[in-house]
Structure 1
C-alpha cells in the first residue's frame, strides 16, 4: 500500500513538472474545506505545526533592554502615521482573499489570482492558515499586550482593536504569514528573491506601523514563518501543489503578464521604511 502511494505521488509530481496542462487539472480538482469562513484549512495537521512555545524565548519583560528597544521601535514607527506608509500598513493588515493575493504581486512581477494562478492562489490561502496557527501556542501562553493597549495610541485598524486586544501579541501572526509567503514565492521565482524578501520584511514591519505589534513580536513571527515553510516541504500534498504553482507561474510569464496593482505607489510607500 505504501509503495503504491509513493508511486502515485511520484507520478503526480512528474506530471506536474513536465505537463503544465495536466498539472493544472490535477491541482484544481480537490475542494478544500474552510478552517473558518473565508480561510481554508492548512496543509499541516495540528500536531505537525511548529510549536512556537517551545521554539521561542519569552517576550521581553518591561524594564529590560529588549523591551526598551521595542518601545523605541514603536515610537519610530508611529511617526509614519497618516502617510503613505501608514496606508500601505492598513492594506497589509487585510488577510482576506482576493485582496491578500495581490500583496506580493509587484515584488513577483506577476499576477496572483484565482483566474491566472489558481493553485498558487490556493497555496497562499492554505499556508496562511499553517503559518498563522503555528504562532498560537506562544500567543496563548504569554498573552502579551498589544502596543496600542500599552501606549494608548490608535492602531491602523480601529475596527479590529477589540478582537486584537484579546489576542496575544507575541509572536506576530501576520509576520509569520508574510515571511512564509516571501520565502515560498522566492523559491518559485529566485530571480526576484531580493524584491520578495524585502517585501516580506516590510509586510511584517507594517504591523509596527499599525501599532498592533512590537518589534520582538515581528522578529519572532518571521522565525515561525520560516520554520513553517521548512515543515511544509515535507508534506506531500503541499509538494504536489507547489509543483503545479511553479508551472502556473511559468505559464503566466510566457504570456507576458505582469504585476497587478499600483506598483509605483507601493514602491514610494515602501521607500519610507519602518525602521
Structure 2
C-alpha cells in the first residue's frame, strides 16, 4: 500500500495533486497518473456563494443537520471509513454476498484499486479551488470528529469519497448485473452520506459522481481491469454457491437507508 506522501510524489505535474485526505493510503490503481480522468477538464468551478447552486448546497446541509444522531447519521459515519474491510462490508448487502479478502479476493482487491483511481481523479480541481468544507465554514462538527483537523486542509470539491463510492457501485453492477439496482442505490446513498456527515456540500457529491463515472469509463479499455471483471464474475458465482442460504445481516443498513 502506498502512503499519501508516496502517492503525491508520483502524481503528474498536470494534476498538481497534493493528497491531504487522511484516508488516502492507497493500493496501486489500474491507471497510470497520466491516464486518470482530468477533473480540471471535466468539472467547472464550485458554486459561488451568491448563486442558486450554493443556496441548494445550504438547503441540503440544513436538512442533514436535522437528522444528526439518527440511524441514517450513524450509517453515514460508517460510510466515511475508507479503511478496508469497512468499504467491502458497506457494499456486501447490495451485492448480495459477503465481500471479504479471504472468500472474494478479486472483488476485494478491485475495490481497493478503484479507490485509488477514482479518489485521485478528483485532486486536480480539489487543489485548484481548495473549497472550504461546510463544517469548517459554519464552525460545526462532522460525523468523524477525529478527521476534522486534516479535512480542513483538504479541498471539499469534488468529493473523493463519492467518486470512489460511485465507481464501486458501477463496477460491482458490471460484475453482478442482477443486483444493479441495489448497487446503484447504494452508490447514491454512499455519496449522500458525505452531506449527512456535514463533510461535503451537495455540489461536491454531484461532482464526485461525475469523476467516479469518468474513471470507470476510462477503465473499460484497460486489459487488466477487464481480466479482473471476468475473474470477479467467476468468483461471485462461486461465492453464491459457497455462501448458499447464509443470510447477510442487512436489517440495520436497510432501515437506515430506507
Q: TM-score, normalised by structure 1?
A: 0.84
Residue equivalent to 1:31: none
Shift of 1:39: 2.4
Give yes or no for contact 2:97–2:248 (8 Å, CA) kept in 1.
no
Rounded to whole Å, the distance in 2 between the matches of 1:229 and 1:36 is 23
Residue equivalent to 1:160: 147
Partner of residue 61 from structure 1, selected from 48, 54, 60: 48
Match runs of 1:63-102 below 5 Å: 63-102=50-89
Residue equivalent to 2:257: 270
Larger Rg: 1
Partner of residue 216 from structure 1, selected from 195, 198, 203: 203
Partner of residue 110 from structure 2, selected from 123, 139, 151: 123
Instruction: Please tell me whether residue 51 in structure 1 is matched to residue 25 in structure 2.
Output: no
Rounded to whole Å, the distance in 1 between the matches of 2:87 and 2:181 is 20
Shift of 1:262: 3.1
Q: TM-score, normalised by structure 2?
A: 0.89
Partner of residue 3 from structure 2, selected from 36, 41, 49: 36
Q: Deviations over 1:192-216 (max 9, x none)?
A: 1111111100000000000000000
Shift of 1:258: 6.6
Which gives a bigger RCO, structure 1 or 2 (Cα 8 Å, sep 6+)? 1
Q: Do the aligned partners of residues 67 and 118 (structure 1) sit closer, same or farther apart at CA in structure 2, a change above 3 Å counting?
A: same
Give yes or no for contact 1:106–1:260 (8 Å, CA) kept in 2.
no
Rounded to whole Å, the distance in 2 between the matches of 1:94 and 1:259 is 26
Q: Do the aligned partners of residues 96 and 260 (structure 1) sit closer, same or farther apart at CA in structure 2, a change above 3 Å counting?
A: farther
Partner of residue 97 from structure 2, selected from 107, 110, 124: 110
Rounded to whole Å, the distance in 2 between the matches of 1:260 and 1:46 is 40
Task: Please give the secondary structure, in 2, of the residue aligned with 1:125.
Answer: helix
Rounded to whole Å, the distance in 2 between the matches of 1:217 and 1:252 is 36
Residue equivalent to 1:251: 238
Rounded to whole Å, the distance in 1 between the matches of 2:194 and 2:247 is 23
Query: Unmatched 5+ residue regions in structure 1?
Result: 1-33
Give yes or no for contact 2:132–2:152 (8 Å, CA) kept in 1.
yes
Rounded to whole Å, the distance in 2 between the matches of 1:211 and 1:259 is 36
Rounded to whole Å, the distance in 2 between the matches of 1:259 and 1:179 is 27
RMSD (Å), alpha carbons: 1.4
Q: Deviations over 1:177-228 (max 9, x none)?
A: 0000000011111111111111100000000000000000000100100000
Q: Do the aligned partners of residues 168 and 261 (structure 1) sit closer, same or farther apart at CA in structure 2, a change above 3 Å counting?
A: farther
Aligned length, in residue pairs:
238
Partner of residue 201 from structure 1, selected from 155, 173, 188: 188
Rounded to whole Å, the distance in 2 between the matches of 1:259 and 1:150 is 46
Residue equivalent to 1:29: none
